[in-house]
Each structure stands twice: as C-alpha cells, then as structure tokens.
Chain A
Amino acid sequence: MNKDKRLAYWRANLRLVGLCLVIWFVCSFGFGVLFVEQLNSIRFAGFKLGFWFAQQGSIYIFVLLIFFYAWRMNRIDIEHDVHED
C-alpha cells in the first residue's frame, strides 16, 4: 500500500472522526452545559430542554453516534480496500 493511498484513507477517517466529535461536543457540552439556561426556556415533552439534554438527550445521541461511526467507517474501509477479509 503506497503512501498516497494510506494518506487518503487516513484523511477520510479523520474527517469522519472530526464530524462525530463536533456533534459529541455540541450535544453534551454545548446543549447540556454551556447553553443550558437558554435552552431551559424551551419546553420539550414535559422537560426543560437544556435539562433534558444534560440528563437524557446527550446519552441517546452518544449511542447513535457510535453506531453511525461504526457503520460509516466500515464503508470507508471497503471504499479504500483496507477492510478485513
């Protein structure tokens, strides 16, 4: 495997990881901590929205995020022909 191919694969990987980490940060630290008061003025299914993100929503998003990453990464492996047999 030559250097260019390796680099292309690694860049695709980093882009995906970067995207997922931005979502991870925004949904937990953003909605649950930094902007919690602003969001608390919005009601969502009986909850204050900021509080809901801090105690429920962020956790659901974390779970979805890992499944999304695993699915997308397996595709990237195949596209770059580096997947396991």
Chain B
Amino acid sequence: MSLQALTFIVVGSSFALYIGIAIWSRAHTTGDFYIAGRSVSPLANGMATAADWMSAASFISMAGLIAFLGYDGSVYLMGWTGGYVLLALLLAPYLRKFGKFTVPEFIGERYYSKTARIVAVICLIFISFTYVAGQMRGVGIVFSRFLEVPVTWGLVIGMTVVFVYAVLGGMKGITYTQVAQYCVLIFAYTVPAIFIAIQITSNPIPQLAFGSEIVGSGTALLDKLDDIVTSLGFHEYTSGTKSRIDVFCITMALMVGTAGLPHVIVRFFTVPKVRDARISAGYALLFIAILYTTAPAVGSMARYNLINTIQIGEVGAPDGNLAYDERPDWFNTWERTGLVKFDDKNGDGRVQYYDDTNPSFAAKAAQYGWQGNELSVDRDIMVLANPEIAGLPNWVIALVAAGGIAAALSTAAGLLLVISAAVSHDLIKGIFIPNISEKNELRAGRIAAAFAVLVAGYLGFDPPGWVAQVVAFAFGLAAASLFPVILLGIFFKRVNREGAIAGMLTGLLFTYGYIEFFKGLFLKWAGAPWGVNTADHWFLGISPEGIGVIGMSLNFIVAISVSFMTSPPPERIQHMVEQIRVPRHMDIQQ
C-alpha cells in the first residue's frame, strides 16, 4: 500500500475514534461542559492534561529546536516541565477546593471585583488565541506534507473535527478524546525514537542511548557530536551561547507561565477531590516527561544523523562532503516542500553544511574552498523526517502524521474551551446577564466555542506575522499577569482588590511594552520595534523571552504595596481564603 493511502487510513481512523468518543461523552449540563461534571479520574485527567499541554510545538518543533540549540535548548525542557511543580504545590489543590468553573471566576470572587475578572478574561483570551493559531497551522502543515492536500484544506478538516467534539462534548468530550490523543501521540513519538536509538547506539531506550557509545566507534554519542559540530565551526553541543542570566530568566518565565496558563489550570477543576488534584498533577507530569526526556535524545541523534549524511568524509577533504546527485530519498522529498534547501555556492556539486557566521572558522572554510553554508534545514522537519532518515517502515511514518495532528488538535480543543467558558460564563453570566438560565448558558458556551473555532481557523490560515513571536508573549503574559494574583489570592490574605488590579495591569503592561519595544507586535505601523534586539541593549541582559520574570516580580511588588496602602479585604473574603486552604469543608471559627 502506498504511504499516502496508509496515512489516510491511520489519520482517518484516529478522527473516527475522536468523534466517536465525543458522541459517547457529550455534555448535558454547564457543569459537564465546563469541567466534565467533576468526575474525571486523576489518571485520566493526567493523560488529558499531558495531551492538552503538549502542542504541535512540543511534538513537531521541540526536538528540532534542541538539535540546533544544544544545551541552550534546555530552557524549554526545564521550563515546560518545572512549571508543573509550581502548579501542583501552589495552585491546583486550592483552586480545586474553590470549586468553581473558570480561572477569571476565582480572580473575580477572591478580589470581589468585576474589573479584576474582566482584566483576567482579557489576559486569558489573548494568551489562548495566540496559542491556538499555532496549533491550527501545525495541523495544516502535517496535512500538506503527508497527505499532499493544500494547507487550507488541512485546516478546514482539522477545524471541523475540533468543532464537532469541542462544541458537542465540551470539557467532558475533550477530556476523553485527549486521553485517546495522548496514547496516539506518545506512541507515535517514542516508536521512531526507539528505532533510531537502536540504530545509532544499539540501546533501545532513547534516554540512555543519548549517553551511550555509538555502535562500533567506542566514543559516546555526545562526545562525538561535540567533536563534529565544533569541527564545522558550530558551538559545542553540550554548552550554550546564551548568557547565564538569560537562560535563568527564560527558564523561569516558561515555568511560571506554564503554571499560569488557564487551559492547564482548568484541567484540575475536573477531578472529584482535592487530593485527586495533587496526584493528578504528578500523573500529568509523568506522562509529559515521557516525551520531554525523549525529545533531547531525538534532538541529538537527529543532529548526528543529519551531519553524518552530509559530512561523509573528513572535514575539508575534497570528497568529504555528500555529492548532491547522490542525496538520499528523504532529502529529495523534503526539498520539494521547501523545508530543506540546497544552494551550491562554490559550484562543486557537493553539500557543505557549516557555521558561516562564525568569524574564527572563516579562514578554515576559505582554505577548504567553501564559500558559505549551502544547506538550510527547517528545524520543524527533524521529528517529521526522522522515520524516513532512519529508513523506518511506512506505518511508522503514517503514525507520526497522526501523532502530530493529535498533539495539535488536543491542545487546540483545550484552548477553545477556556475561551468559550470565559465568554459564556465570565462575561455573559458573570457580568452581562447574571440570571441567564442554565440551558441558555450552555447554548451560549457552544456558540462561543463555534465562533472561537472560526477565529482560530482564520488565524491559522492567515497568521499575522507575529504569531511566532507571540508564543513568548503568551508565556510572559501568563507569568506576569495571572500567576502572581492567583498565588497571592491563596497564600496572602491581606492582598486586596486594589492590589490585585494594580499588580495585574503593571505586570501586563510592562511585559507587553518590553516585547513591543524589542520585537514589535501591534504597533508596527507606529515604527515598532524601536529597540535593537541584542543582548547589549536588553535590560540587565534579559531577552524579551525571559522578561516575564521581571514583569512577575513587579506584579508581586505592586500588588503587595498597594494592598498595604489600602483597606484589607472584607471578612467574608478572608474566610473564603481560610476555606480553600483546607481540603475538607470547615466551619471557620475565629
């Protein structure tokens, strides 16, 4: 059977499975729609959270990113897992005890303020839409490469599937489809990794293969990799180029941002008990860690494989590089998508791949007769092309396509759901029509979800230039706006309405302003970015990716100082805080 037919069958049956689950688990009440009736087992919630969290970026891009960044890629590995520790210890159990439907609802009630709730809704909608645009794009790319349909059609098909199960099933529907999607994506990620690990090191466990010796050479993979990348002018794989403070701040911003992302937090509202929320965070991170500890192994092995394919002999020897005419099939396939590009600058018919931006390597390159790097490889193809590079059977390639789509759809559905809940529950019921009937609220939720799917599809179809840049913004924003006020709301009774609103706005505006200044988001028409985006110009050497940490600190400082300058929260709020701190319902006495 041809690869394309096989891929259609695998992807098609995974879609049939998701829709089947959605019909079986459709929502009947607003409780079902927003928080799956609070009946999800901790283990199932852990899996659903893992699928919700691991997006197209984690599945498709991360290993490739690490392959090219080496040690610097660690910021993503630690940043996107360490946040779960904060979530489990500082937020999840208490928000579960609070026992309502949404994150803005907690902020609104804890700070007895509709303004605070609206500010939280704005942050939530911005964070979630930036994210979802990337997911839809991911679906489109996988479709166009593996099924050879235009990106637009891939997008429409993806939107339809999400539409059916998010609108029909609400949280209950997406929870159980996410469980299925987790199984598909983790299987699709680890199988090729195991095969490649065996090929390179004969150790089947990627996490160990990564530190093992290359078959028949007696050198450890990472040592060999350090050796060959430096001989081509690249920086050493196991050490970084970013400054210490920047690595620190980016990692911290990603961790805190993760803990502040509404679509992740809300998953912990769906379990029956407080203790389920705690253990469920553990399961979630365990399931995430399976992919996140495999990714750096895949990254290093993919880099090794790539260089080995190109640099077939000694560096600098006349026949040391791959002749373009003898390129392997996968090279050819991906060249057609434009994601691999070759430009024979010195006209020798061979492919030279090296760091032509490294001034201390320039003399050597000239001596070899190289006139610039001739190969550009899009980092996104590292995972997708891996099975082909390793010569794995077609069913593995089809599985990887289904896995990439599962990762994108599961995240998209989770995001669309928090957007629709923010609109129907926080804005419509919470602010505009407080006495709306449950039936109408459920209807409003479904309409909002349907509308959000359309906006997401549009953003994926015609992404504004800044989509790639705003991912950093989404994390910085979550870190600087939502996380501090939720944390203070639980751990610091004295923080009041005025403090929370001032804190959120400070964190939000500072972080947004810094990113606008150096990267340009919405004010391009007014000349943004104004700053030169290099380390010498950054505040304390912190890049826009890591600035959320400063925004977060400002939020804490402002929230606490303003609170002490204004009157303490009313007694009922202080009781509410006492109440969410204990798992069992308590009669609070003074």
Residues of chain A at the chain B interface (Cβ within 8 Å): 1-3, 6, 9-10, 13, 17, 20-21, 24, 28-29, 32-34, 36-37, 40, 44-48, 51-52, 54-56, 58-60, 62-63, 65-67, 69-70, 73-74, 77, 82-85
Contact = CB atoms under 8 A, between A and B. Distances in A.
B71 interface: yes
A47 B211 contact: yes
21 contacts: A3-B589, A6-B588, A9-B582, A13-B581, A28-B78, A28-B82, A29-B251, A29-B252, A37-B239, A45-B208, A46-B213, A46-B221, A51-B74, A51-B222, A51-B238, A54-B71, A55-B73, A59-B292, A62-B82, A63-B289, A67-B282
Given A58-B82, A62-B85, A73-B275, 20 more contacts: A1-B586, A1-B587, A6-B588, A21-B89, A28-B82, A32-B251, A44-B211, A51-B239, A55-B74, A60-B293, A62-B81, A62-B289, A66-B85, A66-B278, A67-B279, A70-B88, A70-B279, A74-B278, A77-B583, A84-B584
Contacts of B77: 54-55, 58-59
A51 B285 contact: no
A66 B193 CA distance: 27
A53 to B, nearest CB: 9
Nearest to A36: B71
Interface string B204-220: 00011011110000001
Nearest to A14: B491
B90 interface: yes
A70 B590 contact: no
B296 interface: yes
Bin the interface of chain B by size.
35 or more
A79 B220 CA distance: 50
Chain B interface mostly: helix
Contacts of A33: 74, 78, 244, 247-248, 251
Contacts of A10: 581
A59 B289 contact: yes
Nearest to B97: A84
Contacts of A74: 275, 278
Contact of A59 (B221, B293, B586): B293
A23 B408 CA distance: 33
A34 B213 contact: no
Interface in B411-468: none
B502 interface: no
A25 to B, nearest CB: 9
A83 B275 contact: yes
Contacts of B590: 2-3
Interface in B547-582: 578, 581-582
A56 B377 CA distance: 26
A36 to B, nearest CB: 8
B78 A32 contact: yes
Nearest to B272: A84
A24 to B, nearest CB: 5
Given A3-B590, A33-B244, A24 B82 contact: yes
B239 A40 contact: yes
B370 to A, nearest CB: 30
A78 B510 CA distance: 44
A61 B278 CA distance: 16
B81 A40 contact: no
B584 A34 contact: no
A26 B537 CA distance: 30
B251 A28 contact: yes
Interface in B209-256: 210-213, 220-222, 238-239, 244, 247-248, 251-252
A51 B71 contact: yes
Interface in B370-400: none
B248 A70 contact: no
B577 to A, nearest CB: 11
Contacts of A47: 210-211, 222
B274 interface: yes
B84 A62 contact: yes
Contacts of B248: 29, 33-34
B455 to A, nearest CB: 34
